Homo-oligomer: A and B are copies of this chain.
Amino acid sequence: MELYTDEYFMREALKEAQKALDIGEVPVGAVVVAKNRIIARAHNQTEKLTDATAHAEMLAATSAANYLGSKYLTECTLYVTLEPCVMCGGALAWVQLGKLVYGASDIQRGYSLIKQQVLHPKTEVAKGVFANEAKALIDSFFKRIRE
């Protein structure tokens, strides 16, 4: 039995997204994994930090780099519940992320809408892991906003 699957780590990212939802933030969560260990976890905190750039990926990547004492995350995998935006995609390029795994696609803001290369050319990408669960969290947030 393989314990450290993409599903295992994405479940941790979903827990982060749930924390965001609980405090009224857009529910996106992320974890950074190195050698099967979670070295950083974060959720969206744009409201709490009054910072529109405080996305889960930005916070998790910065935290992971800090932990490793390295500007680069070439040996790391970042799990995030929603497809990164263009800003976050650009950030993940600068840190030379080893692998990106995301849940739901973001059909409005996702980096993959950009025709040119946004991520680092060496970054592996996998998507769709617990996409429905990730999307359900976001839908429930926006449903609550509209009510």
Taking beta carbons and an 8 Å cutoff, which residues of A are in contact with B?
Answer: 46-47, 50-53, 58, 61-62, 65-66, 69-72, 85-91, 93-96, 113-116, 118
**B86 with A53: CB separation less than 8 A:** no
- Which residue in B46, B50, B94, B115 is a CB contact (below 8 Å) of A53? B94
**B87 with A52: CB separation less than 8 A:** no
Cα separation A89 to B91 with both chains bound (whole Å): 11
A87 surroundings in chain B (CB, below 8 A):
86-91, 93-94
- 8 residue pairs, one from A and one from B, having the closest CB atoms: A87-B90, A86-B90, A52-B94, A52-B71, A53-B91, A87-B91, A52-B95, A51-B62
Beyond contacts A52-B71, A52-B72: 18 other A-B pairs, Cβ-Cβ < 8 A, are A50-B65, A50-B66, A50-B69, A52-B91, A53-B58, A53-B61, A53-B62, A53-B91, A86-B89, A86-B93, A86-B118, A87-B87, A87-B89, A88-B90, A114-B114, A114-B116, A115-B115, A115-B116
Cα separation A90 to B86 with both chains bound (whole Å): 6
**A71 with B46: CB separation less than 8 A:** yes
A-B contact pairs, 17 of them (CB 8 A): A50-B65, A50-B69, A50-B71, A51-B62, A51-B65, A52-B72, A52-B95, A53-B61, A53-B62, A53-B91, A85-B94, A86-B86, A86-B89, A86-B114, A87-B91, A89-B90, A114-B116
Cα separation A92 to B60 with both chains bound (whole Å): 20
